[in-house]
Amino acid sequence: MAQQVKIFAGNASHELGEKIAEAFGQPLGDLSIQRFADTELGPSFNESIRGCAVFLIQSTNPPAENLMELMLMVDAAKRASAASVTVVMPYYGYARQDRKDKPRVSIGAKVVADFVQSVGTDRLMTCDLHAGQIQGFFDIPVDHLDGATVIAPYIQSLGLDDLIFASPDVGGVVRTRAFAKKFGAEIVVCDKMRLRANEIASMQVIGDVTGMNVVLVDDIVDTAGTICKAAELLMERGAKSVRAVITHGVLSGPAHERIRNSVLEELVITDTIPLKEENAKIRVISLASLFAQAIRNVVTHESISSLFI
């Protein structure tokens, strides 16, 4: 008899969870998250999950209680005798803290990995980690999905000629080159220097964008300072148009205002993090079908790599 699959979602990803469950072909499981007077969280499953393959969907964007809520969900599932528990973390919070870039700092991505494993998680499914090497922080299987699988068809549908892809910083060159390869296009790099986090001191373009339609590629847009400055610089260097494709729309602080006032044609993001504010320049593409198919392939023991472009 085939193992029963049950899909649940936390508060941070309930809408995406519903879409994933629908794409998978079944309703989202019944889960309650009790909030006590002191704001402590208490998840409970309102249906039996004994012997089931359980998938828990929750992005761990701020506030930090989204991560805590997910860990309590895993613990509750293990104590309810689930056969396996897979954490589906569309956005992996703290991923930008992936190494010691100066003395006496934490490696937040490793702390999260240890936390996820400590509660008994059997498998992690995520999308576009800030650094692919974060997979090495885990001793359990990690399914690292590629957001370009759903974003690339949209870019293709625009029918842009003279297409070139740009990385907003040196660190994103590998990601940008992989994206450009799908289109047989060239890349340019915006080399930036920071004084401190979220503050850019200077930026320059390496490569020629004269008369080109530029697509900026990155994994995260936070305050949108880098992406907007890069777009402005590319237009100054003679680009015909600039748009950006980003997997995770964190969009903190002045991000929305900066995007509205920017030279960007549009900002394309996915729904790994819910969009909290309407913005005419932002287009959201859902990853629900990608995650649903990945869940199906895990359950049927088929290849996940077949989902990549």
Which residues are part of the catalytic machinery?
A: 192
End-to-end CA distance of the chain: 33
In whole angstroms, give the CA distance from residue 125 to residue 286.
Answer: 16
Token pair in block for residue 120: 């008994």
Residue 111, amino acid = V
Residue 216: count of CB within 10 angstroms of its CB: 27
Helix axes 288-299, 14-24, angle to 10 degrees: 60
Closest C-alpha among 1, 7, 2 to residue 86: 7
**DSSP state at residue 61:** P
Closest C-alpha among 177, 156, 17 to residue 90: 17
